[in-house]
Amino acid sequence: MGGVVGVYGFSKEWRMARFIYYSLLALQHRGQENCGIVTFNGETLNYYKGSGFVDQVFSKPETLEKLQGWIGIGSVSSISQENPEKIQPVIVWEPIPIALCYDGKILNFRELAEKEGINCEDEAEFLARLFSVELEKTGKPMEAIASFMGKVKGAYSLIALTGRGEMVVARDRCGVKPLTIGSFGFDYGVVASESCVMDVIGADFKNDIQPGEAYIFDEHSIERRQVLKPNPRFCAFEYVYYARPDSIINGKSIYEVRMKIGEELAKEHRVNGGEVVLGVPETAIPFAVAYSNKTRTPLGIGFVQTGRRVRSAIKPTEFERIVGVQLKLNPIRAAIAGKKVVLVDDSVVRGTTTKNTVNLMRNKMGAKEVHVRIGSPRLIAQCPFGTDVPPKDELIAVHLNAEEVSKVVGADTFHWLSLKGLVRSIGIPRKNLCLGCFTGKYPVLAG
Ligand code: SF4
């Protein structure tokens, strides 16, 4: 799981490192383990990478100063790396220097590496090597990426920077992971996992990179080609949980989808006599607003966030999860005490977060009743395409039904959104969505 960005300045006066830095801050929610930036200054690829949050890794102003150049790419990732060289964007220097970052998962990595005679253990490095070899063979970046896309099977939203000053962009034919494009007049072009990046750096959002599409940016032009026949299977979890509410992905506003989810929840699982609706920050806030509007139940502010936004569902240990919960949410007693509370959250993974929250509300804050409503269907399977979902045996929905979960987490009632309700909310036909972690059935991602 990660976020990628590339910014191509059409004048050599531009210094893109700072633009990439702000873009990565805007994508921080997509990966919090490590990050990196690579720039091209006309001579070589300059890079800096490290483990931690973006503002920690790039805390010294001179770090960005040293990253000179009018083209840059960057990445945030949720996958921890012991070897800093493996942090994305990865760089290979031969046969042609390539820096590459991607969000996704390559399904035929080992098989293809063997077939192509590329000896390497790291997926990102393999992709960079493969593209470098293709570029040497063809000499032309569009031909190279077309051949590359014909061979690689999996989910990828990918940006590469060549040591010749070209920026290469590709999205797999199913478009599982998001990728968007924008520009600032004729000054620079931007490609990023989410459109919120365009707003943050002052560019205009243009469109999604379409499934199976590739772009080449060079100093003279932007070339676009539909390399593979599109077969859209957009990740539904982006709408529920991962993407920022100010992003537009696959033509749909995340905010609007989340508001619809709240309305669907209200239709499916209304709490009669609820006295206050509280959304768990931040993702579930639009769900709660819409639920409150629809049911005419007063909306409250139930929590104050302490510290950074910690994505507690994907923290690896029990201790970290509990610390994450406490850091993330401090309930507001006055909003909760003595009330019949409708607690709206985005998802339930292991149930740890929900149990802690319900326990706090009931036993410490004095809630009269706590009714939990979840803005996503039951999470029952892992994601083979690179999204961090814990192993199946740790997912509470695999083992328990709603009534049983309600007992385990200590709620009065508990309900998930239905699959149909989610699809209706997203507004994209079900056949064009990946719903794998909710159904256990995955799209076939051919090359
Ligand atoms: S399996 Fe789930 S998280 Fe993975 S791409 Fe499909 S919907 Fe998204």
pLDDT in tens, 389-427: 888 888 999 999 999 999 999 999 999 999 999 999 999
pLDDT at 328 over 70: no
CA of 233 to the centre of ligand 1 (A): 9
- For the ranges 82-96, 147-161, 347-361, 369-383, the lowest mean pLDDT is seen at 347-361
**Cα(329)–Cα(312) distance, rounded to whole angstroms?**
11
Angstrom distance (rounded) from CA 318 to CA 110? 33
The answer to whether domain 256-427 has CATH 3.40.50.2020 is yes
As a whole number of angstroms, the distance between CA 383 and CA 445 comes to 13
Distance 434 CA to ligand 1 centre (A): 6
Residue of 107, 157, 383, 442 best suited for mutating to test ligand 1, as the one with most atoms within 8 Å of CB: 383
List, for residues 340-375, the tens digit of each pLDDT value. Answer: 999 999 999 889 889 989 999 999 999 999 999 999
Give the atom of ligand 1 at the shortest distance from the alpha carbon of 386: 4
The closest-lying atom of ligand 1 relative to the alpha carbon of residue 236 is: 7
Give the model confidence (pLDDT) of 46-77 as tens digits.
Answer: 999 999 999 999 999 999 999 999 999 999 99
Task: Please give the pLDDT value at position 103.
Answer: 97
Looking at the chain, the whole-number percentage of residues with pLDDT higher than 70 is 95
Mutate which of 157, 257, 385 for ligand 1? The one with the most ligand atoms within 8 Å of its CB, which is 385
Angle between helices 254-268 and 419-426 (to 10 degrees): 150
Please tell me the pTM assigned to this model. 0.94
Question: What are the pLDDT digits (tens) for 171-219?
Answer: 999 999 999 999 998 899 999 999 999 999 999 999 999 999 999 999 9
3-state SS class at 99: strand
Which atom of ligand 1 is the closest one to the Cα of 389?
Answer: 3
Ligand 1: list residues with CB < 6 Å: 176, 235-237, 383, 385, 387, 434-437
DSSP label at residue 360: I
Residue nearest to atom 2 of ligand 1 (CA): 437
Where are the domain boundaries for CATH 3.40.50.2020 in the chain?
256-427
Strand partners, 413: 371
Least confident stretch, 102-111, 167-176, 380-389 = 380-389
At a CB cut-off of 8 Å and minimum separation 6, what does 119 contact?
A: 113
Bridge partners, 347 (sequence order): none
Q: Name which of 164, 154, 99 is nearest 125 in CA terms.
A: 99
What's 431's DSSP letter? G
Contact present, 32 and 80 (Cβ < 8 Å): no
Residues 77-100 have a mean pLDDT of 94
Is residue 318 pLDDT above 90, yes or no? no
Place of tokens 């599409």: 213
Tell me, in angstroms, the distance from the centre of ligand 1 to residue 411's CA: 28
| Residue 433 alpha carbon, nearest atom of ligand 1 | 7
Identify which of 105, 157, 237, 431 to mutate to test ligand 1's pocket (most ligand atoms within 8 A of the CB): 237
- The answer to whether domain 2-232 has CATH 1.10.760.10 is no
Which range (75-84, 100-109, 157-166, 318-327) has the least confidence?
318-327
**Which residue, chain included where needed, has tokens 């209200």?**
266
Residues of each domain in the chain carrying CATH 3.60.20.10? 2-232
Q: How far is the CA of 49 from the centre of ligand 1 (A)?
A: 28
Q: Which pLDDT does position 82 carry in this prediction?
A: 87
The pLDDT of residue 335 is above 90? yes
**Ligand 1 centre and the CA of 235: distance in Å?**
5
- pLDDT of 312 above 70: no
pLDDT over 90, % of the chain: 86
Average pLDDT, the chain: 93
User: In angstroms, what is the span from residue 232 Cα to ligand 1's centroid?
Assistant: 13
